[in-house]
Amino acid sequence: MAWTNEDLREQFAEIATLLRLKGEDQFRVRAYERAADAIAAARVDLATLDRDELAALPGIGKSTAEKILEQRAHGTIRLLADLRAEIPTGLIELTRVPGLGPKTAVQLHRELGVDSVEALQAALEAQQVRELPGLGAKTEDNLRVAISRMGAKDTARVPVADALPVAEALRAELAALPEAVEVAYAGSLRRMRETVGDIDILAASTEPGPVMQAFHAAPVVREILAAGEKKSSVLTVRGLQADLRVVAPEAWGAALVYFTGSKAHNIRIRERAVRRGLTLNEYGLFQRDDAAEDGIGERVASRTEADVYAALDLDWVPAPMREDSGEVEAAAEGRLPRVVTLADLRGDLHGHSDWSGDGKVPLEDMVAAAAARGWDYWAVTDHAEDLALNGLSKAQMLARRERISALNEAVDITVLDGAELNIDGEGGLDYDWDFLLTFDWCVASIHTLFARGEAEQTQRILSAMQHPAVHAIGHPTGRKIGKRPGYDIDLDAVLDAAAETGTALEINGSPHRLDIAADVVRRAVERGVTLTIATDAHSLGDLDNARWGVLTAQRGWATAGDVLNCRALQGLRAFVAAKRERVG
DNA sequence: GCCGTTTTCGGCCCGACTGTTTTCAGTCG
C-alpha cells in the first residue's frame, strides 16, 4: 500500500483530536499532536525507517513507532479505528467552529444531542444553548456569527502575497505614531510561510492606549473582534484577521520571539528554559522562584531576540528557520548554517524590460534601479521567440544586444545579455543551438502544457538542462500559491539532473510563486544543487522580490555558498563556462 | 505518550480575552 508521511500525520492528528474529545489526559493528547508535528517535520520517507530509527526521531517514542509500523503493515491503526467507532464524527466538525472547543462540543452533544453544525444551528434557533451551564445568550450570538463566517470562507489561509500589503499598511500606520517605539509584523508572515492564517502585529510602547486606538481605526480594518488593553483582534479588508499585541519596550525581544513562533519552535525553547530553571513568556526569560506567588523571579533577558537566545545558550535563529525542524538542536551545538541574506546578493539573474511584451519598464530604467541597489550585475532575460505574445525574434534580440553593449559603456553595473527561454512540449528551446550560445545568461522555463503527466513533464526539464546554454531553470514547478499547483514533476530526478549537469535551480522571489518552495530548497541544498535567487521583475517594484526570495532561501537553510548570484561576476562567468564544458 | 546538563519517574509552555461567573473555565495563539 502506498502511503505518505502526510497520510500518517493526518492519522495521528485525528487520534489527538478524538482523544481530546473523549476527555483523555491532556499530556497524552499533546504527545499525539507532537508526534503528528514530528512526522510533518521529518524530511525522510518514514516508510524507509525501522522501529529504532522511528523511535529515535524527536517526539516519536516506542508506542508511536509501533503504530507507524502497524499502519505500514495493515493500512490502519487500531486505536484510530476504535476511536472513530466511539466518537461521533460530527463532533470534529463542531470544533472547527471558531470559539467552539472540545469541551463545549462534548457538552452540546451530551446535553442536546447536537452532532453537526446544522444541528447546532437548530439548537441556536431554539435558544437551547443558553440554557446550558456556563453558556449564555452572548455565546449563542457568537456561535451564530462564527458559523456564518465559516460559510463565507473567511477563515481560509490566504497567499502570503495577499497578506503582505495589508500587514505593511498596518505596520506603517502604527510606526508613524509617536507612542510606538517599535512596530513589526511577526507570525507566519515573518517566517515567510507561503500562506498565512492571520497577521500578527507587535508594537513596543509605554502607552498602549493610543496604539490600540490607531489599530482599531486603521483604514484596512473592517470590524473589531476583540479589544483588550494589551491585545486586539480585527477583521481586515480581505477577511483576514489581524492581531495586535502591545508590550513594554524592555520586553521587545522576548515578545518578538514569542509572536514569531512557530508554536512548535516556541514550545521547544520554553522546555529548554524549564530544564534550566527558567521560564520564558512574551515578557522575558525569568528565573523560576518557588517563593514568589507567581513562581517568577528575576528577569534574565528580554530586550532583544539575540539576548533571549543567548541566555538559553542558543545562537540566534533567523525567523524563517523557526519551524522545529532541527534548528534548535543546531543552534545549541553552534552548527546553525549562516543562511544567505539580502546583503549577500551581488546581482539578479531573471528580469524583464519592455523589449518583451510583458515587461513594463524601459531597459535603461530597470538597469538604473538595479544599479541603485548596489548590485554588480543584472541579467535582462526578456522572453524569447517561442512565446508568441511576449517574445523577441532573433533580429530583435540582436538589436537589444547593441543597446546592452552601449549601456555597459555608460553604467556602473554589468548588464548581462540574457533570455528567458521557453521549454516546449518536447523539451526543445527557442532559436537555434548556436545562437543560444551567444547569450551571457539563459534561464529556461515552462510556460505551457501544464497538464502533461509526470514522466513527460520531467523529461521536458531534463532535456532542457542538457543544452550547454541553459544555465538555470526558472520557476521550476510552475505553481502559483493559492491559484494552481505546480505541474507534475519528479523533483528527485530534477534535483539530481541539476547537480549532474551543473544547471542552477531558481528560487523565484515573486510572492505569488516562491518557486522552488522552501522544502525543495532544503533538499536541493542537501544535494549540493546550485540555486539562484531571482526577482523575475517585470516592473521596478518587482526588484523587491529579492527580499522574499532570500527569506524563502533561509527557510530552506541555504547559505550564500549555495546561491549563484552571491558570487562576484567572475564566479558567475566561471559557472557559465563550466556548464558549457560539462554538457557542450 | 515522551523524555532526561536535577530526573528512567514525574513532570510536561504560557498568557490574554471572553463570557460566565463572584474566582474561573474554555478557547486561542
What are residue A51's phi and psi, to 5 degrees? Answer: -55, -45
| CB of A284 nearer than 7 A to strand B | no
Cell numbers standing for residue A318: 533567523
Residue A554 CA to residue A146 CA, distance in Å, equals 37
Pairing status of strand A531-534 against strand A504-508: parallel
Query: Prior bond to A481 cis, omega within 30?
Result: no
| CB of A276 nearer than 7 A to strand B | yes
Residue A476 half-sphere exposure toward CB, CA atoms < 13 A:
33
Task: Output the CA–CA distances (angstroms, integers) from residue A211 to A165, A310, A368, in the order listed.
Answer: 20, 30, 39
| CB of A98 nearer than 7 A to strand B | yes
Instruction: Using a 7 Å CB cutoff, list residues 256-275 of A near strand B.
Output: 263, 266-267, 270-271, 273-275
Residue A516 CA to residue A506 CA, distance in Å, equals 7
Burial of A499 (0-12, 13-18, 19+ CB in 10 A): middle
| CB of A135 nearer than 7 A to strand B | yes
Burial of A464 (0-12, 13-18, 19+ CB in 10 A): buried
> Which protein residue has its CA closest to C1' of B18?
A226
Q: Confidence band (pLDDT; 50, 70, 90) for A151?
A: low
Residue A431 CA to residue A428 CA, distance in Å, equals 10
Give the nucleotide at minimum CA-to-C1' distance from A271: B13
- Looking at the DSSP assignment, which residues form a beta bridge with residue A515? A508
> Which protein residue has its CA closest to C1' of B4?
A275
> Which protein residue has its CA closest to C1' of B7?
A275
C1’ B3 / CA A98, Å: 33
| CB of A52 nearer than 7 A to strand B | no
C1’ B24 / CA A145, Å: 25
Q: Confidence band (pLDDT; 50, 70, 90) for A202?
A: very high
What pLDDT is recorded for position A40? 79
Residue A280 CA to residue A288 CA, distance in Å, equals 10
- The string of pLDDT tens digits covering residues A271-299 is 899 888 899 999 999 988 777 777 778 89
- The string of pLDDT tens digits covering residues A482-504 is 777 888 899 999 999 999 999 99
What pLDDT is recorded for position A1? 47
> Which protein residue has its CA closest to C1' of B14?
A281
Q: Is the distance from CB of A101 to CB of A109 less than 8 angstroms?
A: no
What pLDDT is recorded for position A364? 94
Q: Mean of the pLDDT values across residues A532-539?
A: 95
| CB of A372 nearer than 7 A to strand B | no
Contacts of A556 (CB under 8 A, 6+ apart): A507, A518, A519, A520, A521, A522, A524, A525
| CB of A297 nearer than 7 A to strand B | no
Lowest mean pLDDT among A45-49, A82-86, A101-105: A45-49
Residue A345 CA to residue A553 CA, distance in Å, equals 12
Model-level pTM?
0.83
Give helix A62-74 / helix A5-22 axis angle, nearest 10°: 120
Cell numbers standing for residue A60: 516519536
Residue A203's SS3 state is strand
C1’ B27 / CA A400, Å: 61
- Rounded to an integer, what is the distance from CA A476 to the centroid of its chain? 17
- On strand B, nucleotides with any atom < 7 Å from a protein CB are 1-7, 11-21, 25-29
What pLDDT is recorded for position A154? 47
Residue A28 CA to residue A112 CA, distance in Å, equals 28
